[in-house]
Structure 1
């Protein structure tokens, strides 16, 4: 608990014991802590350097604890000051970086990371550095997976970072997959499933992406892409896969279940067909004996369902899904 002010576990235990006793001989303190006297004395000297303990002037070998409210308060104030300075330095460096990167060269937009440990470390960094959202496509053939990856995900989610993840169905066959998915859903992460995803991908805050590189032999490698048109294309790929995927949810017994995505009803399909035939909203409403607002509300609902922003995109999606016939002349 006191590691933030520079104490290790043994030193913290020594200080706590000394506070409880008020003052103690090295021998008595070592016995209480079940530590060798040399280790206890070493810990006491470290506490003395931190201003948390002092040797008694009245009795040789006796140590006295400094009042926690005063001693720890001073250390915490110093720690806050150092953190403030570090934060200012980080802000200045970020400003310098932005100034230099205002017109980034093409070769600065991507970086290649090679080696299993380097790839895993970069993946953890990407998640821990996210502040808003992490989007990921996950295949059933993990290349570099470590416990730190899951730990970084949990830490980011705990900080309030939103997660949207699409997994391919083969992931269910991996060891501990259900346990990990249940934990993710328990953290309110959004997880969906498709039969196959086109590639592994992770995007942090729509500003930094990471994809694997293949064809380099047995050594794992990844491409890190900074904000650019290429990154926007990757984000577009994720959104397209996300729209097609089925949501997962926690079952009553803690298992993972797939949710059926609601599709358009008969009235929705009739509205779509008439709109694609060239009718206006008003004519569609009259033809189907519906209110104009009802037609517009249903069209808006279909656009939200398909994740599109224009009616042209909605028409394309309706054709692709087979919701309407491609030949409307009949």
Structure 2
């Protein structure tokens, strides 16, 4: 309780005992408190330096009355606290100046184009968006992690990024892949974002990770197949208009999170399953399907097994024929992808 004034637990116990038994000698303190002579001697030295005890003849000590001893200690502590508050105030001002400097630096890095080479630079770009986006952000969340995210299996950072923006009042619209329904962490993250106010839809396929920020600039992955290469930020009005049109095109046909859009009646397959079926029918390898859906090849095999179960077949050839019989496929959908 009194550690802020320089008294540790042992020193406080000794001082309290001295108040009950003034003019005690150290041996009595050792006996009554069960402490070693070394600890008692060190504590008495501390109490003496703080002005809480006085030495008496014959090796005894007596406590200084708390009403006399503590006001100077409290005054010193208050002075130290005011000094610390002043240092914190100066540190806060310095932090604000650094934040403003970072914003100016990012804005002046180039007039129109900013290349964020590698994961670290792309992450700094995401942090800049989190700190400065003011009104609106539209995102195409294509396959794989966002540029700047180091762990492709951990979707927490991008969820925190979206929730943080939403809590600041930024209006977010995000289009994710239909295949998130096969990845439990992504489903949980999507629902957490939606609970924070993010509008979320899903689409069978998306071209590349793209962020349109406040209608002022666009950030997209440098390489759709390798997000470790970083991102590129473009401020030109033409690029912003093109990215905005691209997002609106996908948004208009995307499905709200949690189910198909109403109006077309029940479908025998989900949109993700339909897209998977088309790729299987066109002979796509598991690796190509995995890239399109942003999942592992093991997950692809599980997805195909679910189609086998729905169709009551055991091979890809049987699946294609059965799908045609059930009306799940028609000729126009072959070789589409």
Q: What TM-score results when the alignment is normalised by the length of structure 2? A: 0.48
Work out which structure has the larger RCO, using CA pairs closer than 8 Å and 6 or more positions apart in sequence.
2
Task: Identify, as 1 or 2, the structure richer in strand.
Answer: 1
Larger radius of gyration: 2
